[in-house]
Amino acid sequence: MASEVDNLISDFSRFYILTILYEKPAHGYSIISKFRKRLEREISPSLVYPFLKQLEQKGLVKHTVKPVGEKERKVFELTEEGRELCTKLFKRFANLISVAIEPSLEICAHCGCKVYEGGYHEAIDGKETTFCCKHCAAAYKQEKNLVGKTLR
């Protein structure tokens, strides 16, 4: 149970690191200090640096070496692809919060947009899945290589 909470917190921390990078390019230390200042909580460099490295390996982040004070530091910035991913993530996150506040709301499993009423529902992999329209359902199934059954 404790580790589930830890996972949740580190997922949130990663999410927050992305929001910092989305604002502007930053070096590792400035990410850590912004994180601490804004959230008033500690973040371990052993979470930040490996995460930046993973993002870089996936082509979502790139770095340049720049002089900061007397030292040279790696300044990280989101690539075009990284920015696109963030835009999607933020939209999805904002919509998830709307759903929590407004329970009648659902979000499209494919594009992440809000589905107020109706929408399009399919049983996919035995699970009822909500989409805004059947085109999103088709794209979702194609991406995940799944088949579904129309519900309503």
Applying CB under 5 A, which residues contact Zn ion?
A: 108, 110-111, 132, 136
CB of 65 to Zn ion, least distance (A): 41
Angle among Cα 105, 106, 109 to the nearest 5 degrees reads 160
CB of 92 to Zn ion, least distance (A): 11
CB of 17 to Zn ion, least distance (A): 27
β-pairing, 61-68 vs 71-78, is antiparallel
Beta carbons of 74 and 28 less than 8 angstroms apart: yes
Burial of 131 (0-12, 13-18, 19+ CB in 10 A): buried
